[in-house]
Chains A and B, each alone.
Chain A
């Protein structure tokens, strides 16, 4: 039941986001691009850090 509630809430949010994105994409293409690009930048740099942790753990294991 709780999962269903969460699912429905997130689904509604996703719907709203898509609606807003369509409007913004129509009138403010550049702003929209900035939004997507920034999210991507943050995620890639965060992923890079996680990758470094994995690399170091791997190296540490090989040294042992």
Chain B
């Protein structure tokens, strides 16, 4: 028997540690490429100011990187410690990208990051540049494999259930890594990291320009980050839209929650700009709508039907009934593998196995075979994730994205005129922008992962079943430990970050070849 409280606490712990980890990851993804760009200018033009720049931002990169690595360890442990049924049930598929991530990306990243820091004097310019590029490439390759793993949870491609081993098994490696969900999610996430780094560099450079310090470095950093940022923020928006389009077809319950669509409407469907979803009544208490827009965004047409919560719940209800058959047949097969009747019954219903598991949460003894009519209805209602969280996180993310695009457009105008250092109001605004991409990234995580509920693997394995069979005390112990440690970490991190930003870059080089004379 699984204690519902353990499910709840495990979810909180995973969400908290993942969101915390995801504070550091985007900056690593983007800043590594910005460092590479800076060093490229240094190597090709020989102007040492770009080396100073690369070294200064490199120092901030490392402070951030250390925490990214540290908190990433937690994630790798946590699948086993807290989600052990999940791990054994889909490990055949999910474990592979994680292991390949270590083999192909993380090893490279970690080995070369050491050389990047310590190798300035020992490597030739070209070698060091190559090392920096490898760090950048590897950190993003890391993201590829993690998002392949995550893509499988969102839209399980290339996998089949094997009743003889009682688990999901990989059927096509190609389908797994080239799944559209994995691909589009990687591109969107990586570019979101680029935007984050660009805002960060612009913001910190603005701080120096406001103080009139390190002007040469600040102007150059700002220019590079602004150009990097304007293109990537445009990219993140278009890719976000594309991801929404891909996701809407693979994963309608998430779409329904993102857009606040309770009741079925004849197309074209309007877009809820602002709405107050009411979970009890299953309707929006208030909604400000733009006609036609949802249809255009989701189906790219005015005639195709758009999914809604009520139709999805109805479908879930049917699939749960069929899933119960699958679970009972599977159990019979487990007792006697030669039971041909049970095997035939299982094969007829196996697509709905996950729905059969879903209802177990409410059923007596957590046995789907004992589910009552009321249990089935409650479980079917659960097929729609918490609408308010998904709906509002989505809007926070979108608004932040648009805000950053506007910011970078202005930033590019000013920096191309080379008078950004005189725009004091804009510089102050740049400082205020620093938290925005981080908020957007966290909101994006919430949309993706809360929107996937009640499943860990969409329509295959429900969240409640995925947890380890712990007692509540175990979870209280670990949660307390994480809260304590992570609070100390963030305090130290912020302190060092601010200290080194205040201290500023060490300047050895000169701004221009002319000034050097």
Are A56 and B511 touching (Cβ within 8 A)?
yes
Q: Are A57 and B512 within 8 A (Cβ)?
A: yes
A interface footprint on B178-202 (CB within 8 Å = 1, 0 otherwise): 1010011011001100100000000
| A48 nearest in chain B by CB position | B227
Tell me if B38 counts as interface (CB < 8 A to partner A): yes
Chain B: residues with Cβ within 8 Å of the partner, total of 42
* Neighbour of B235 across the interface among A31, A37, A42, A49, CB < 8 A: A37
Please, what's the 1-or-0 string for A18-56, where 1 marks a CB less than 8 Å from any CB in chain B? 000000000111110110011011111110111111011
Bound complex: CA of A2 vs CA of B45, how far in Å?
25
Any A CB within 8 A of the CB of B223: yes
- The interface stretch among B29-37, B271-279, B311-319, B452-460 is B29-37
B22-60 interface code vs A (CB 8 A; 1 in, 0 out): 000000000001101110110011010010000000000
Q: Choose one: A28, A29, A49; the contact of B220 (CB below 8 Å).
A: A49
Interface string of B201-222 (1 = CB under 8 A from A): 0000000000000000001100
Contact with A along B356-384 (1 / 0, CB 8 A): 00000000000000000000000000000
**Contact, CB under 8 Å: B228 / A41:** yes
Residues of A within 8 A of B180 (CB): 30
CA distance A51 to B224 in the complex (A): 10
Bound CA–CA A50/B140 (angstroms): 26
Q: A28-B178, A46-B224 are in contact. Are A37 and B191 (CB under 8 A)?
A: yes
Report Cα–Cα, A42/B190, bound state, in Å.
14
A50 touches B186 (CB 8 A): no
Q: Does the CB pair A34–B190 fall under 8 Å?
A: yes
B231 at interface by CB-CB < 8 Å: yes
Q: Contact partner of A56 among B34, B228, B418, CB < 8 A? A: B418
Q: Is the CB of B231 within 8 A of A44?
A: yes
Majority SS of interface residues in chain B? helix
Residues on B with beta carbons closer than 8 Å to the beta carbon of A40? 231
By the criterion CB–CB under 8 Å, are B184 and A30 in contact? Answer: yes
Does B386 reach chain A (CB closer than 8 Å)?
Answer: no
Does B121 touch A at the CB level, under 8 Å? no
Instruction: Name the B residues within 8 Å of A51 (CB-CB).
Output: 223
**In whole angstroms, what is the CA distance A61 to B514 when docked?**
9
Asked if B232 lies at the interface with its beta carbon under 8 angstroms from chain A, I say: yes
Residues on A with C-beta less than 8 A from B219 are 52
Are B194 and A41 touching (Cβ within 8 A)?
yes
| A48 to B229 CA separation, bound complex (whole angstroms) | 12
Q: A28-B178, A57-B513, A60-B512 are in contact. Are A45 and B184 (CB under 8 A)?
A: no
Asked whether B232 lies within 8 Å of A50 as measured between CB atoms, the reply is: no
Chain B residues closer than 8 Å to A48, beta-carbon distance:
223-224, 226-227, 415
Determine if B512 and A56 form an interchain contact, defined as CB atoms under 8 angstroms apart. yes
Given A42-B37, A44-B227: A55 and B418 interface contact (C-beta under 8 Å): yes
Smallest Cβ-Cβ distance to A39: which chain B residue:
B33
- From the candidates B144, B186, B232, B515, name the one contacting A41 in the complex (CB within 8 A): B232
Q: Across the interface, which residues of A come within 8 angstroms of B418, CB to CB?
A: 52, 55-56, 59
Q: A39 → chain B, closest Cβ, in Å?
A: 10
Closest residue of chain A to B216 (Cβ to Cβ) is A56
Given contacts A34-B186, A52-B219, A57-B513, contact A45 B37 (CB under 8 A): yes
A residues less than 8 Å from B515 (CB atoms): 60
Cα–Cα, bound, A44→B512 (Å): 20
**Pairs A-B, 5 closest by C-beta atoms:** A30-B183, A45-B228, A48-B227, A45-B224, A45-B227
- Known A-B contacts: A48-B226, A49-B223, A52-B418. Give 5 more (CB < 8 A): A30-B186, A38-B194, A41-B231, A43-B37, A53-B513
Q: Mind listing 18 A-B residue pairs with CB under 8 Å?
A: A27-B174, A30-B180, A31-B186, A34-B187, A38-B190, A40-B231, A41-B194, A42-B37, A44-B228, A45-B37, A45-B224, A46-B44, A46-B224, A48-B227, A49-B41, A49-B220, A56-B512, A60-B514
